[in-house]
Structure formats: structure tokens, C-alpha cells
A = this chain, B = another copy of it.
Amino acid sequence: MTSPTGTQAVDRAAQLLREVVHCPDAVTFTELATATGLAKSTTSRLLMALERGGLVRRDDHGGFRPGEMFVGYAWRGGAEAGLVAVARPFLDRLGDVTSETINLGVASNGMVEQIAQVESTYLIGGTNWVGLSVPLHCAALGKVLLAYGAAQLPPGRLEHRTARTITGRAALQSDLAEVRRRGYAVTDEELEPGLIAVAAPVYSGGAAVMAALSVSGPASRLTRDRIQHVAAACIAQANALSAALGYPPQREGAA
């Protein structure tokens, strides 16, 4: 059994809860019972306890959905603060692996907002960009958000930042297609001369991308070969973060 140490009631309840919360739409009693392999009676009692605690709610047709505690939390805007905290270890790990500057960004009215950062261990590295917003089309984070539909390009001309900035919409579209194809984005001195960044998508719901994770550094260090390597690491951590947020395929109980 998967009972590390005497608390299987709560573990089982959490298991049920996970099913309910993960599932985009209502889950039925029987689905829960079979999914977790618990006896009907046990399932019933646990669900009633969860309901009592406001963790689960049953809709008109008996389907289960996340309860007031979840809804209240979401409305209180815990999301962003929480994301940063949940993401931190993954950023750190990526920082350890690459030694470069790591950023987590989300779309915020037509720009990328960087919401968390890990400093490079090199002397030459990024300054602190947290809170800073940059245009979508010339940042690796932004390209990812655009490519996966987490942001829409604002109307108007695409701002010209460097000689390499992509300012044509058609050119940008084909670049985004490329991003989708290989699973990560690159900006090669398109935002600022000498600055290269790669970014990968963070999934957080069926197929929805909510945030992006990037590695940035000077062109001198991020050579063609190294970009491949860094991109792989970036994708790996982005995926791990996605998993932590709940939504890859489905999960069972096991460590």
C-alpha cells in the first residue's frame, strides 16, 4: 500500500479531491470510486466529509466539482502569488543547470510581465527584470505565449528594438509556427543587442499555456550548440512545473 505513515484517510480524501479538481468538468460518484479503487461506503463517507469542509460541491445532477474553498481562493487572486511560489524550485533548478538568468513570465495586457527571476551566477548576466513588461514579439517568453495562444498581439506596428527585431507580422507568424514545431522559442538579439534567450511553455490546464519559462544570457555564452542544450533543460523544467500545477495527462498515487 502507499501509506507512508498512518494517515490513509486523509491521503485517500486527497486522492479523491485530486480527481475532482483535475477534471475539467464534473465527476460522478462512481467514477471517483472506481478511479481510486475505494469501497462505495468509504467513498461516500470521505466525499461527505470533503463536502462538509467546503472542498467539494455537488452540482444538481450529483456530479462533483471543486468547492468554495477553491473558488474563493481563485477569486482572491491567489493564483499569481501562488504560481511564483510553486515555480520557484523549478526556476532554481534551471538556474543550477544553466548558470544563466531564469525568468517566469505571463501575459499581461499585450506585454510579457516577468513575475519571477533567478539571477545568473556569472558576473555578466541580467539585471532584475521582475515587474518589468516587455513587448511580446521580441521576447522569447512573449513568443511562447503568442505561439500557444496565451496572449494576443496588440494591434499596431511591431516595435523595432534592434536590427534583428522581427517587425513583419508574416515573418513573426512563421517564427511562431517554428516555436510550436520545436517546442521552444528563441530570441537572438531581437530585444537588446547581445541578449539571447530561449523559452518554453508552462501548461496549466488541458492544452492551455498560462506562463512561460526562459533562460537568458549574453550572446557570447549562448552559442548555437549551447542553445540546444539550454532549451532542453528549459523544456524539462517547464514540463516539470506544468506537472506540479496538475495537468499533464492524469496521475495515480505513487512517489
A contacts, CB < 8 Å to B: 4-7, 9-11, 13-15, 17-18, 21, 24, 45-46, 48-50, 52-55, 57, 59, 65-66, 68-79, 82-83, 85-86, 204-205, 208, 210-211, 244-247
Contacts and interface: CB of A to CB of B under 8 A. Distances in A.
Given A49-B7, A75-B83, A85-B59, A245 B68 contact: yes
7 contacts: A4-B52, A14-B55, A66-B73, A71-B78, A72-B204, A72-B246, A74-B82
A71 B74 CA distance: 8
A66 B53 contact: no
A45 B204 contact: no
Chain A residues touching B, majority SS: helix
A79 B75 contact: yes
A50 B82 contact: no
Given A69-B21, A71-B245, A76 B7 contact: no
A136 to B, nearest CB: 18
A77 B80 CA distance: 12
Contact of A65 (B49, B50, B79, B85): B85
Nearest to A13: B10
A21 B72 contact: yes
B247 A50 contact: no
B49 A11 contact: yes
B76 A71 contact: no
A66 B21 CA distance: 14
A148 B25 CA distance: 33
A69 B7 contact: no
A176 to B, nearest CB: 22
Contacts of A246: 54, 68-69, 72-73, 76
A59 to B, nearest CB: 7
B244 A50 contact: no
A75 B17 contact: no
